[in-house]
Chains A and B, each alone.
Chain A
Amino acid sequence: MRLAEVGFFLFMVDCILCNNYIFSRFLGNCPFLGVSSKVETSIGMGLAVTFVMGLASAFTWVAYTYLLEPYDLKYLDTIAFIFIIAALVQFVEMFMKKSLPALYNALGIYLPLITTNCAVLGVALLNIKSSYGLIESVLSGVFGALGFLLAIVMMAGVRERLETSDIPKPFRGFSISLVIAGMMAVAFMGFTGLVK
């Protein structure tokens, strides 16, 4: 899916709906299930992921194109990307602690978890695999993360209602959450092939 071929809007639709990171690529499920108990914190988490994924796409693309490729070190991409993302998350965490303490407190231990959020590493590797340019990479990162935001907020909305529902005992807690995530994924399959 190249930006030049399909245009801005369809590129966005493709990233958010057709190739949703949670529901069709199944990446980033840990924060998706971990931080989706309240809509408010899930929005915070989604925005933090959006920020990190946008930045990570740019930084990893630059590192890949100007460091790894010229020196013939493409095989080091995974480890170098993990490295970059970890440093980036650390930086974002420090920045948030200083400038957005409310959001920092709300995200708690989940902010460092973005380091190991496979959606972030996934977007970096997929950008390279699709041989995207810098702008395409950043856009795919931001839109992919917006897809993640959409998924996690939807999930949080459902789970807030689950709190007051009468759920059969064997399904309570994580089991019903996983069942719901599965059903959402099935629904999202309907978007497959929307953009060609």
Chain B
Amino acid sequence: MLDILNALLVMGGLGIVFGVILSFADKVFAVPVDEKVALIRDNLAGANCGACGYPGCDGFAEAVAKGEAPITGCPPGGSKTVQALAEIMGVSATASEPKVARVLCQGANEIAGIRYEYSGVESCAAAVAFAGGPKLCQYSCVGLGDCVNVCKFDALTIENDLAVIDDKKCTACGMCVNVCPRHVIELVPRSATVAVRCRSSAKAREARAACTHACIGCKRCEKACAFDAIHVADGFATIDQEKCTQCEECIKVCPNNCITVS
């Protein structure tokens, strides 16, 4: 009987002592936490997916509270989260249109010319560092899947040495946009289906020699557009999504089929 009592007293005593010490330490070492952080954290999707680019939901909540991250930065949370965060942060929730990532290159096998056979590290960044990558075009998708590796939602695949995005799975987190060494992935509104899928700044002849689907900057689309929405700059055409009405006139005049509808 005494044994049990001793055991109870010793363990219970240890517990009480530690409890007291820790509760004091909690007060002494208390770090003032912005109460917004906890509120924001509660309203996030809470999957710790990293789509926002911060280390977990806690990191994102802190950044939002500091005003460093946009309230629309949590793709899995959707519009519900945006509204809740807007209320907490006291800013108006702009009805953000859902976005999607798009690969601005059509340089798959047979379409884009190959310069050399690459058999090094399976990484676009490494391949680009090695004499500018295996494809003739210096502005094309390398096709070694840095974006596939970074995608947390399985939305990307490499088909015929070209990155392909599954619109249904894409949450527009922007991880692939940041990792692509050639910057050929872009976030666009989901409603913007027409896209110029080439970013080659090369001269017309070189661009055409490197890829059959290259934008050569001929400005035919610019002339065909009735809404002043497409312009050639740096040797390739870009669409101003705010003006574009998806009328597809530019697609009809493009000589190299580098404008597409998805």
Q: Write the residues of chain A forming the contact surface with B, with a CB cutoff of 8 angstroms.
A: 63, 67-68, 71-73, 76, 79-80, 83-84, 87, 90-91, 94-95, 97-99, 101, 108, 164-166
Contact = CB atoms under 8 A, between A and B. Distances in A.
A129 B31 CA distance: 40
A189 to B, nearest CB: 33
The secondary structure that dominates the A interface is helix
A91 B14 CA distance: 15
Classify the interface of chain B: helix, strand, loop or mixed. helix
Interface of B: 3, 6-7, 10-11, 14-15, 18, 21-22, 25-26, 29-31, 55, 120-122, 126
A95 B11 contact: no
A98 B32 CA distance: 9
Contact of B121 (A71, A73, A166): A166
A76 B11 contact: yes
Contacts of B120: 166
A113 to B, nearest CB: 15
Contacts of B26: 94
A76 B7 contact: yes
Contacts of B55: 108
Contacts of B11: 76, 79-80, 83
Nearest to A109: B56
A3 to B, nearest CB: 28
Contacts, number: 53
A176 B25 CA distance: 42
A169 to B, nearest CB: 9
Given A80-B14, A164-B126, A97 B7 contact: no
A145 to B, nearest CB: 22
Contact of B29 (A72, A95, A164): A95
A3 B133 CA distance: 61
A73 B6 contact: yes
Given A98-B31, A164-B121, A84 B25 contact: no
Contacts of B122: 166
Contacts of A67: 10, 14
Which 7 residue pairs spanning A and B have beta carbons closest together?
A: A87-B18, A98-B29, A94-B29, A71-B6, A94-B25, A97-B31, A67-B10
A72 B55 CA distance: 48
Given A67-B10, A73-B10, A84-B14, 5 more contacts: A68-B10, A90-B22, A91-B21, A94-B25, A164-B121
